[in-house]
C-alpha cells in the first residue's frame, strides 16, 4: 500500500501563498498528474510531499501515518527532477547505486541492483559510462533508475521530460507508462503539458493559483469540466458572453448574435445574469451557404452566418477564424475536407445545444 493523503496543505512564502488548502487522496499504485500553468504551485506541492518543503499548514499522510514532519531521507518517497542532476564525477552505475550506498548496502549488492535497474530502463551496458557522455533522454533514464533504486513506495516526478525534444519526449512517455505498470508504485507526476498528462495519467489533478480545481479520469475531466478554468486550460475553446432572459416561461441564455440556449427552470439563475458559453472548435460545423446538403436549423438559434477572417494551416487541421457579428469564433476542419474556404467567404456555423457548456461569472459550471 502507498496511499498519499493531503489534508488542507498550504505553503506561504512571506506574502505569497503558493499552495492554498489543498486536499486530495492519491490512490495506491495510481499515476496522478498534477497539471496546471507555470507558477500555480505544482512543484511546491510535490516538494511538500517529498519533504523538501514544510507545509505552513495542513498534514500529509502516507498510508495513514502522518509524515508531515518526517525529513525527506526518512520518507518512503523519491524525486526525479527536470534537470537530471546526475553526479558528473561518478559513473552511471555509481549514480544509480548512490541511494543504496547511503543506506550502507554493500558494493556488490548495490552494483547488481544498479545493473538490473539499468536493464529495466533500457540502459543496460551503460554502467561504466560517464553521465556527461549521455544524451538527454539517456540521462533521464539513469535519473529514473537512480530514484527507483531505493525502492520508494511513491515516486515523485517534476517535469522530468520537459528538457527533451518532442519525439524523444513522446517515446519516454510511453516508456514511463510501462515502468509505472511494471513497478506497481504510486507515481505523482507534475507537468504543464496537457498532451503528456493525457498520455500518462490514470487521473489528472488540475491546478490553478495554488488550488486543486478538479481531479478525475482524463476523459472525464476533458468532457465534464466543473469550472471555466479547466475548460479553458485543456483545449482551445470559444467563450461567448450571454445574458439570461426569462421573458417566456423558461429562462434562456442569449448571445449578442442571437444564439440562445434554453435552461431548466431550476437552473438557479436570474434575468440579466452573465453566462459564458463555451463552444469548442471541434463541435462547430461549417458549411457554405449555397451548399445544398446543409440543413440549417434556425430553431434555438444554433446556426449563424459569418465571414472567414483568417485561415491557419496546422498540419493535419485547418483552423478558420470566422467573424459572427464582430465576434471571432475558431473552427477546426481536417485538411482534405470537401469544403475549402478562403478569407472573405460567407459561411454558416452550426452546433448542438448538447455540446455547449455554460459557466457562471464566478467560473463554476451551470448545468442546463
Ligand X SMILES: Nc1ncnc2c1ncn2[C@@H]1O[C@H](COP(=O)(O)OP(=O)(O)OP(=O)(O)O)[C@@H](O)[C@H]1O
Residues that bind ligand X (CB under 6 A): 13, 16, 18, 36, 38-44, 192
Grid coordinates in use for 52? 523538501
- 13 contacts which partner out of ligand X, Mg ion, none, CB within 5 to 8 A by kind? ligand X
> In this complex, which beta carbon is closest to ligand X, that of residue 129 or of residue 198?
198
- 18 contacts which partner out of ligand X, Mg ion, none, CB within 5 to 8 A by kind? ligand X
Residue with cell 552511471: 92
Residue range at the interface with Mg ion (CB under 5 A); choices 1-9, 35-43, 110-118, 316-324: 35-43
Q: Confirm if 34 and 217 have CB atoms less than 8 A apart.
A: no
44 in contact with Mg ion (CB under 5 A): no
Helix (H, G, I), strand (E, B) or coil at 305: strand
Least Å from the CB of residue 220 to Mg ion: 25
Least Å from the CB of residue 122 to ligand X: 27
> Strands of 365-366's sheet, edge to edge?
260-262, 252-255, 238-245, 274-279, 357-359, 365-366
> In this complex, which beta carbon is closest to Mg ion, that of residue 67 or of residue 156?
156
Least Å from the CB of residue 180 to ligand X: 21
> In this complex, which beta carbon is closest to ligand X, that of residue 126 or of residue 229?
229
Least Å from the CB of residue 55 to ligand X: 13
Least Å from the CB of residue 262 to ligand X: 40
- The 8 Å CB, 24+ separation contacts for 71-76 are 73/102, 75/50, 75/51, 76/2, 76/152, 76/153, 76/154
Grid coordinates in use for 113? 541492483
43 in contact with Mg ion (CB under 5 A): yes
Contacts of residue 321, defined as CB under 8 A and 6 or more positions apart, other chains included, come to 308, 309, 310, 311, 312, 328, 329, 330, 331
* DSSP secondary structure, 104-168, as one string: T--HHHHHHHHHHHHHHTT-TT-TTS-GGGS-HHHHHHHHHHHHHHT--SEEEEESTTTTS-HHH
What is d(CA 111, CA 159) in angstroms, rounded to the nearest whole number? 28
Least Å from the CB of residue 321 to Mg ion: 33
> In this complex, which beta carbon is closest to ligand X, that of residue 110 or of residue 169?
169
> In this complex, which beta carbon is closest to ligand X, that of residue 13 or of residue 73?
13
> In this complex, which beta carbon is closest to ligand X, that of residue 72 or of residue 125?
72
Residue range at the interface with Mg ion (CB under 5 A); choices 11-19, 37-45, 140-148, 315-323: 37-45
How many residues line the site for Mg ion (CB under 5 A)? 1
Q: Confirm if 333 and 317 have CB atoms less than 8 A apart.
A: yes
191 in contact with Mg ion (CB under 5 A): no
Binding site for Mg ion (CB under 5 A): 43
Amino acid at each position: 500500500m502507498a496511499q498519499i493523503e493531503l489534508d488542507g496543505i498550504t505553503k506561504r512564502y512571506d506574502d505569497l501563498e503558493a499552495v492554498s488548502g489543498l486536499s486530495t487522496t492519491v490512490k495506491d499504485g495510481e499515476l496522478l498528474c498534477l497539471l496546471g500553468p507555470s507558477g500555480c504551485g505544482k512543484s511546491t506541492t510535490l516538494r511538500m510531499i517529498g519533504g523538501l518543503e514544510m507545509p505552513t499548514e495542513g498534514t500529509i499522510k502516507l498510508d495513514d501515518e502522518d509524515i508531515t514532519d518526517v525529513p525527506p531521507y526518512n520518507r518512503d518517497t523519491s524525486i526525479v527532477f527536470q534537470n537530471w542532476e546526475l553526479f558528473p564525477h561518478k559513473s552511471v552505475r555509481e549514480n544509480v547505486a548512490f541511494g543504496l550506498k547511503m543506506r550502507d548496502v554493500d558494493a556488490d549488492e548495490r552494483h547488481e541492483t544498479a545493473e538490473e535497474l539499468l536493464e529495466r530502463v533500457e540502459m543496460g551496458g551503460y554502467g561504466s559510462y560517464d553521465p556527461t557522455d549521455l544524451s538527454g533522454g539517456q540521462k533521464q533514464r539513469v535519473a529514473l533508475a537512480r530514484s527507483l533504486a531505493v525502492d520508494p513506495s511513491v515516486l515523485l516526478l517534476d517535469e522530468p521530460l520537459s528538457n527533451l525534444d518532442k519525439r524523444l519526449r513522446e517515446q519516454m512517455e510511453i516508456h514511463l507508462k510501462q515502468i509505472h505498470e511494471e513497478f506497481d508504485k504510486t507515481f505523482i507526476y507534475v507537468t504543464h503539458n496537457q498532451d503528456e498528462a493525457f498520455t500518462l495519467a490514470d487521473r489528472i489533478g488540475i491546478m490553478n493559483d495554488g488550488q486543486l480545481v478538479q481531479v478525475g479520469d482524463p476523459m472525464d475531466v476533458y468532457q465534464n469540466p466543473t469550472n471555466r478554468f479547466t475548460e479553458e486550460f485543456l483545449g482551445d475553446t470559444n467563450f461567448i458572453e450571454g445574458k439570461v432572459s426569462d421573458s417566456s416561461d423558461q429562462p434562456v441564455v442569449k448571445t449578442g448574435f442571437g444564439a440562445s440556449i434554453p435552461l431548466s427552470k431550476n437552473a438557479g439563475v436570474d434575468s440579466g445574469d452573465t453566462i459564458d458559453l463555451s463552444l469548442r472548435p471541434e463541435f462547430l460545423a461549417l458549411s457554405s451557404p449555397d451548399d445544398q446538403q446543409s440543413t440549417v436549423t434556425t430553431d434555438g438559434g444554433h446556426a449563424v452566418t459569418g465571414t472567414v477572417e483568417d485561415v491557419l494551416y496546422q498540419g493535419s487541421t485547418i483552423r478558420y477564424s470566422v467573424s459572427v457579428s464582430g465576434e471571432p469564433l475558431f473552427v477546426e476542419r481536417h485538411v482534405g475536407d470537401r469544403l475549402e474556404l478562403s478569407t472573405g467567404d460567407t459561411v454558416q456555423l452550426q452546433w448542438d445545444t448538447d455540446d455547449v457548456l455554460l459557466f457562471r461569472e464566478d467560473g463554476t459550471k451551470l448545468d442546463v
